[in-house]
Amino acid sequence: MSGITRRGAVRLGLAAGLGLATVSLNGPGDEDDAGGPLAGTEPARAIGDGSTAHTGRQPRQPDAPVPLEPGETPPQFVVFSWDGAGEVGTGLFARFLDLARAHDARMTFFLSGLYLLPESKKGLYRPPGNPVGASDIGYLSDAHIRDTLRLVRRAWLEGHEIGTHFNGHFCSGDGSVANWTPEQWRSEIDQARTFVTSWRTHTGWRDEPPLPFDYGTELIGGRTPCLLGQDSLLPTARALGWRYDASSPGGVQRWPVRRGGLWDLPLQSIPFPGHSFEVLSMDYNILANQSGNSTRAPAQHHPAWRSQATESYLAGFRRAYDTNRAPLFIGNHFEEWNGGIYMDAAEQALRQISYWPDVRLVSFRQFVDWLDAQNPEMLRVLRSLEVGESPPGGWSAFLRPAAG
Helix (H) / strand (E) containing 163: strand 161-164
Cα–Cα distance, 162 to 115 (Å, whole number) = 13
Q: What is the mean pLDDT of residues 50-72?
A: 96
According to DSSP, the β-strands at 44-47 and 18-23 are antiparallel
Share of the chain above pLDDT 90, in %: 87
**Where are the domains positioned within the chain?**
77-393
Cα–Cα distance, 118 to 108 (Å, whole number) = 24
Range from 1-10, 146-155, 215-224, 358-367 carrying the lowest mean pLDDT: 1-10
Residue 400 pLDDT class (50, 70, 90 cuts): confident
Residue 25 pLDDT class (50, 70, 90 cuts): low
Contacts of 318 (CB under 8 A, 6+ apart): none
Whether residue 350 contacts residue 309, with contact meaning beta carbons closer than 8 Å, is answered with no
Q: What is the mean pLDDT of residues 108-116?
A: 98
Q: What is the mean pLDDT of residues 244-271?
A: 96
pLDDT at res. 14: 34
Cα–Cα distance, 204 to 120 (Å, whole number) = 12
Backbone angles phi, psi at 211, to 5 degrees: -70, 135
Using a 10 angstrom Cβ sphere, with 0-12 exposed, 13-18 middle and 19 or more buried, the burial of residue 27 is middle
Model pTM score: 0.91
Closest CA to 193 of 164, 170, 220: 164
Q: What is the mean pLDDT of residues 135-160?
A: 98
pLDDT greater at residue 76 or residue 18:
76
Residue 321 pLDDT class (50, 70, 90 cuts): very high
Cα–Cα distance, 162 to 85 (Å, whole number) = 9
Contacts of 2 (CB under 8 A, 6+ apart): 11, 172, 293
Residue 250 pLDDT class (50, 70, 90 cuts): confident
Residue type, 404: G
Whether residue 287 contacts residue 1, with contact meaning beta carbons closer than 8 Å, is answered with no
Q: What is the mean pLDDT of residues 56-85?
A: 97
**CA 390, 265, 155, 140 torsion-angle sign:** negative
Q: What is the mean pLDDT of residues 280-302?
A: 96
Contacts of 375 (CB under 8 A, 6+ apart): 67, 68, 401, 403, 404
User: Is 20's pLDDT higher than 80?
Assistant: no
pLDDT at res. 339: 98
Cα–Cα distance, 365 to 382 (Å, whole number) = 20
Whether residue 165 contacts residue 86, with contact meaning beta carbons closer than 8 Å, is answered with no
Q: How many residues does the chain have?
A: 404
In Å, how far from its chain's centre is CA 113?
A: 14
pLDDT at res. 278: 97
Residue 22 pLDDT class (50, 70, 90 cuts): very low
Mean of the per-residue pLDDT values of the chain = 91
Whether residue 84 contacts residue 110, with contact meaning beta carbons closer than 8 Å, is answered with yes
User: Is 13's pLDDT higher than 50?
Assistant: no
Cα–Cα distance, 2 to 95 (Å, whole number) = 29
pLDDT at res. 283: 97
Q: What is the mean pLDDT of residues 100-121?
A: 98
**CA 30, 32, 35, 36 torsion-angle sign:** negative
Number of H helices, E strands in the chain: 12, 13
Cα–Cα distance, 18 to 112 (Å, whole number) = 24
Cα–Cα distance, 238 to 259 (Å, whole number) = 10
Rounded (10°) CA dihedral 84, 159, 248, 14: -10
Q: Give the single-character DSSP code of 324.
A: T
pLDDT at res. 17: 28
Q: What is the mean pLDDT of residues 108-124?
A: 98
Cα–Cα distance, 349 to 36 (Å, whole number) = 30
pLDDT at res. 2: 30
Closest CA to 362 of 100, 186, 30: 100
pLDDT, tens only, 203-237: 999 999 999 999 999 999 999 999 999 999 999 99
pLDDT at res. 263: 98
Q: What is the per-residue DSSP string for 31-73?
A: B-TTSSBP--SS-EEEETTTTEEE-SSPSS-PPPP-PPPTTPP
pLDDT at res. 74: 98
Cα–Cα distance, 52 to 73 (Å, whole number) = 40
Q: Give the single-character DSSP code of 95.
A: H
Q: What is the mean pLDDT of residues 349-378?
A: 97
pLDDT at res. 293: 85
- The CATH architecture assigned to 77-393 reads Alpha-Beta Barrel (3.20)
Residue 401 pLDDT class (50, 70, 90 cuts): low
Q: What is the mean pLDDT of residues 172-191?
A: 98
Secondary structure of residue 382 in the 3-state scheme: helix
Residue 291 pLDDT class (50, 70, 90 cuts): very high
Residue 331 pLDDT class (50, 70, 90 cuts): very high
User: Is 11's pLDDT higher than 80?
Assistant: no
